[in-house]
Structure 1
Amino acid sequence: MTCPICARPADPNYRPFCSRRCADIDLGRWLTGGYAVPAEDEDWSEDSTEPPPRQ
């Protein structure tokens, strides 16, 4: 397995990363919004305070 940040071999102590530095880089990307999961906008009225029921 290789580190997803720098592609060096993964270290079992920091798996799946090679070092604490790469693990911290990954954490920083999550915390600053560098990674994002695509989502669809839900279509509901702006004047409604509750979202529509889930189907």
Structure 2
Amino acid sequence: MSCPICGEDTVVKFRPFCSKRCANIDLAKWLNGSYAVPSQREEDVEADESDTSQIGQRPH
């Protein structure tokens, strides 16, 4: 199995990653929103639409 971040062989201690560094890179991607699971709920779609329409109305 190879590391999903860098492609090196995995290490049992950090599986599925090869190192703590790659595990932290993956965690950072989840925390900053690079990875996202799309929602199919209707309420979420409406909330997203209202959020984008209010962006121009917010004071800086």
- Tell me, yes or no, whether TM beats 0.5: yes
- The size of the alignment, in residue pairs, is 45
TM-score, normalised to structure 2, is 0.67
Map 1:1-55 onto structure 2 (within 5 A): 1-42=1-42
Instruction: Please report the RMSD computed on the Cα atoms of aligned residues, expressed in angstroms.
Output: 2.1
- Amino acid aligned to 1:25: I
TM-score of the pair, normalised by structure 1: 0.72
Stretches of structure 2 that go unaligned for 5 or more consecutive residues are: 48-60
Shift of 1:41: 4.7
Cα distance, 1:40 vs structure 2 = 2.3
CA distance in structure 2 between the aligned counterparts of 1:37 and 1:30, rounded to whole angstroms: 10
Q: Which has the higher helix share?
A: 2
Identical pairs, percent: 53
- Tell which structure's C-alpha radius of gyration is larger: 1
CA distance in 2, matches of 1:14, 1:30: 17
- Amino acid across the alignment from 2:32: T
Please tell me the residue identity of whatever aligns with 2:19. S
Query: Which contiguous aligned blocks of 4+ residues in structure 1 show a shift greater than 2 angstroms?
Result: none
